[in-house]
Amino acid sequence: MTEPLFDTVCLVGIGHIGSSLARALRKHGLARRLVALEASPAAAAKAVELGVVDRAECDPALVVPGAGLVVVAVPIGAVAEVGAAIAPHLTPGAIVSDVGSVKLAVIRDLAPFIPAGVAFIPGHPIAGTEHSGPESGLADLFEGRWQILTPMPGTDPAALARLSDLWTRIGSMVEIMEPAHHDKVLAITSHLPHLIAYTIVGTASDLESDLAHEVIKFSASGFRDFTRIAASNPVMWRDIFLNNRESVLEVLQRFTEDLTALQRAIRRGEGETLEKRFSETRKIRRAIIDAKQA
Amino acid sequence: MTEPLFDTVCLVGIGHIGSSLARALRKHGLARRLVALEASPAAAAKAVELGVVDRAECDPALVVPGAGLVVVAVPIGAVAEVGAAIAPHLTPGAIVSDVGSVKLAVIRDLAPFIPAGVAFIPGHPIAGTEHSGPESGLADLFEGRWQILTPMPGTDPAALARLSDLWTRIGSMVEIMEPAHHDKVLAITSHLPHLIAYTIVGTASDLESDLAHEVIKFSASGFRDFTRIAASNPVMWRDIFLNNRESVLEVLQRFTEDLTALQRAIRRGEGETLEKRFSETRKIRRAIIDAKQA
């Protein structure tokens, strides 16, 4: 247990990531008081019942004033509405951050609401599971994982240092990045893989019902690896694709070209092309294991 | 420990699957003697050194005669050559099986070599990891997993019962299937997922080198789930795609149509289409968890 970094931290949205962050802050003693602003009364009640936060409310006037750190953890499509709701209640000197998977869209939707005297530092933890809701939070979710921060020009260096310190203390490695670059990197590491996984699981579920049954039965042969990420929150992912459209469509174009090339090699029986391609991809796995992100 | 089912079992190919089966048979005491026919002298020596088999040779005359069960566990492209090599040495009354991922091709390449008096029962265990070689075998690899058998018309029922018994005793559930149906089911549950994973990992590795570095760094956001299966044996997978061409191209066509539909929805900003599709795929994950194959 260390000295708390903040007196009160307010999580806006106490779902999988919000409640994981609350649990991590509690575990490491980084906030004296944890509160949540949560649109769903059921989720708010659950979060308090589980002891994830001390107080959870649907009314921003009851939890936002006095919070030294406010972390927005809602689907990207709800960020603008949240911005309008919390802005009048933000305390001067507070830091506002978020956990959204697309940074340009969050900046577009949230920055206009941030009053003078409040630091806005967008963030994105590279962590998560396919589960949803306050009960799915994990106190060690961020340990050994990257936290990307995309500060705006002119951000108070002291606020940035304090937020970086918080993520470091819960076990993350902090990386500073341009928001546009973040969106491009995540399009390939996260958004495209999710789109592909959703597609293949959908393709399988559309098969004649006897075949679809066997897909489940024999899923251990490769398919099940895709079903885990295709079980992620549908609203969250809808918003990611709608809000990172250009970058996603660009990497999808590259992927489709590469897939067409392999399809052609299979049709023409070009074994050498296939073997060469399949050998190259092994190296990437090795690099991920070496980087301790496997 | 139970009464051995076979006096001598010969594994042809002592790689990941062959050595896993040898370890499982040893663990459950199902063979008095385990031998291997292995083309690579280094792998043969390794398998004996590790105690996976009692004897491993590159010459079929030294290990195939006297074996009551011969299990071919080599890439599909090597099956015909193996058939020609082992045929003269098979003992009357023996059972020949295999573990190949495409059944029609194995039957095409192996059945012509099987002499009268020897039962040929093609098989395919729905299990495996991305690792290769005799040292990667796992004694419990087949526990709780399906073993598909695709017996030829007129197969001796006693031989089929004996082979089913062996797989059941090492913990598998046995399913009898038509070979053509097997190849269709596996095209969607296994071959397409591997092709997609190889493609996306390849697409990422072709990015400009600074981006490719970040793909590795931030892979925990979805990408790394694909890299595991894209690290599978390249020669084995080359042979699968070359030998299950029609089924793979057919499901790939469906997949491409579905992906194009989602691409269109993203381009046009059709959130409802995306959310609906992403909600359906969650159910499949649930069904896999319920079927205990997750």
pLDDT band, residue B155 (cuts 50/70/90): very high
Q: How far is A79 from chain B (nearest CA, A)?
A: 16
Q: What is the mean pLDDT of chain B?
A: 94
pLDDT at A2: 66
Domains, chain B, ranges and CATH?
6-177 (3.40.50.720), 181-290 (1.10.3660.10)
A264 touches chain B (CB under 8 A): no
Q: How many inter-chain contacts (A to B, CB under 8 Å) are there?
A: 308
pLDDT the model gives residue A200: 93
pLDDT digits (tens, 9 = 90+) for B56-96: 999 999 999 999 999 999 999 999 999 999 999 999 999 99
Residue of A nearest to B276 (CA): A234
Cα separation values, B232 from A221, A275, B239, Å: 12, 11, 13
Look at residues B53, B48, B60 and name the one whose alpha carbon lies nearest to residue B21. B53
- Residue B232 to residue A189, Cβ atoms within 8 A: no
Report the distance separating Cα A141 and Cα B124, nearest Å: 37
From A136-145, A252-261, B1-10, the region with the lowest mean pLDDT: B1-10
Question: Minimal Cα–Cα distance from A132 to chain B, Å?
Answer: 12
Instruction: Give B178→chain A minimum CA distance, Å.
Output: 13
Please compute the mean of the pLDDT values over residues B186-192 and round it to a whole number.
95
Q: Is the pLDDT of residue B275 over 80?
A: yes
User: Assign residue A113 a region: left if phi > 0, alpha if psi is -120 to 50, beta otherwise?
Assistant: alpha
Using pLDDT thresholds of 50, 70 and 90, give the confidence band for residue B1: low
For an interface test with B, give the residue of A238, A255, A263, A292 to mutate (most B CBs within 10 A): A238
ipTM of the shown complex = 0.90
Q: Does A28 touch chain B (CB under 8 A)?
A: no
Read off the pLDDT of residues A37-90 as tens digits, 9 standing for 90 and up.
Answer: 999 999 999 999 999 999 999 999 999 999 999 999 999 999 999 999 999 999
Helix runs in chain B, H state only: 16-27, 41-49, 60-63, 79-86, 103-110, 157-169, 179-186, 192-205, 209-217, 224-229, 234-243, 245-267, 271-290
Q: What is the mean pLDDT of residues B285-289?
A: 85
| Strand ranges of the sheet holding A123-125, from the earlier edge strand across to the other edge | A123-125, A146-149, A173-176
* Residue B2 confidence (pLDDT): 66
A231 vs B255: CB contact, 8 Å cut-off?
Answer: no
- The pTM for the full model equals 0.90
> What's the rounded Cα separation, in Å, for the pair A41 and A84?
20
Strands A31-37 and A55-57 turn out to be parallel
* Best B99, B147, B219, B262 residue to mutate vs chain A (most A CBs within 10 Å): B219
Which residue of B lies nearest to A283 if distances are taken between CA atoms?
B231
Residue A148 CA: distances (Å) to CA of A94, A160, A172, B191: 20, 12, 10, 35
Q: Which of A123-132, B77-86, B136-145 has the lowest mean pLDDT?
A: A123-132
Q: Is A259 on the interface with B (CB under 8 A)?
A: yes
Q: Are B70 and B94 contacting, i.e. CB atoms less than 8 angstroms apart?
A: yes
**Phi, psi dihedrals of residue A9, rounded to the nearest 5°:** -115, 130
Residue A178 contacts B where some CB pair is shorter than 8 Å = no
B213 vs B73: CA distance, rounded Å: 37
Residue B203 and residue A278: Cβ atoms within 8 Å? no
Please name the residue that has the structure tokens 């994981």. A20
Nearest to A189 among B128, B223, B287 (CB): B223
With H, G, I as helix, E, B as strand and everything else as coil, classify residue A141. coil
pLDDT digits (tens, 9 = 90+) for B94-128: 999 999 999 999 999 999 999 999 999 999 999 98
The shortest CB-CB distance from A188 to any of B190, B207, B287 is to B207
Residues A181, A247: Cα–Cα separation, whole Å = 10
In the DSSP assignment, the letter for residue A5 is S
What Rg do the C-alpha atoms of chain A give, in angstroms? 21
3-state secondary structure labels for all residues of A84-129: HHHHHHCCCCCEEEECCCCHHHHHHHHHHHCCCCCEEECEEECCCC
- Backbone φ and ψ of B229, nearest 5°: -75, -20
Nearest CA in chain A to B255: A203
In sequence order, the β-bridge partners of residue B125 are B147
- Residues from chain B that touch A226, judged by Cβ atoms under 8 A, are 193, 196, 225
Question: Stretch A183-191: mean pLDDT, rounded?
Answer: 95
